[in-house]
Chain A
Amino acid sequence: EFVLTQSPATLSLSPGDRATLSCRASQSISSYLAWYQQKPGQAPRLLIYDASKRATDIPARFSGSGSGTDFTLTISNVEPEDFAVYYCHQRNNWYSFGQGTKLEIK
């Protein structure tokens, strides 16, 4: 069974900090990975696709890296509006999502 595992489950940071979120695939998915942001009461929003490409209107402080089985979403300078839940998503082996990382205010 294909699994995407995100870590940590919760990340507590202060505005201005650097956030590093991880997503690990149980088998290689090349670069077929995306990251979404979800705020309370809202639908998910595409941030990063093809592992490292920023979606339209996404600020440059968001960046993605990785290929194969290990991927990272980095927020270089966390802004107050960035506190949310982040999901990784793969489309190499049908479709599946990680369980999410909650970025919370410290």
Chain B
Amino acid sequence: EVQLVESGGDLVQPGGSLRLSCAASGFTFSAHWMHWVRQVPGKGLFWVARINLDGTTTNYADSVKGRFTISRDNARDTLYLQMNNLRGEDTALYYCVRESGWFDPWGQGTLVTVSS
């Protein structure tokens, strides 16, 4: 069974940092581009970042560029999102998503709350 399990979400103060992880199983992790998508509870979906197969190409939404870093460890089948200089508007549920042409499947998400 294909599975994505996120972890690392927490309550953090504005200006703080957090690293999210996503453990993949049930498929060949290194054969898929991977993404992070976030959702403010009760609101819509917002694409955050993507990474190519070997981690050499990364892209970001403008609102997180320069503050967030997506990376992967194919030996550990794990995706990461390093988030620095966090702001209140980064508060959201963060989903790890496999790309197979489209976004499928999605993990269950990990909640990041930025508040003092």
Contacts and interface: CB of A to CB of B under 8 A. Distances in A.
Interface of A: 34, 36, 42-46, 49-50, 55, 87, 89, 91, 94-100
A50 B102 CA distance: 9
A46 B45 contact: no
Interface string B56-67: 000100000000
Contacts, number: 48
B104 interface: yes
B44 interface: yes
Give the secondary structure class of B's interface.
Answer: strand
B107 A43 contact: yes
A88 B81 CA distance: 25
B44 A46 contact: no
Nearest to A56: B104
Nearest to B59: A94
B104 A97 contact: no
A50 B59 CA distance: 23
Contacts of B95: 43-44
Contact of B45 (A42, A49, A55, A97): A97
B105 interface: yes
Given A43-B95, A44-B45, A95-B47, A55 B104 contact: yes
B106 A100 contact: no
A94 B60 CA distance: 10
B106 A43 contact: yes
Contact of A96 (B35, B47, B101): B47
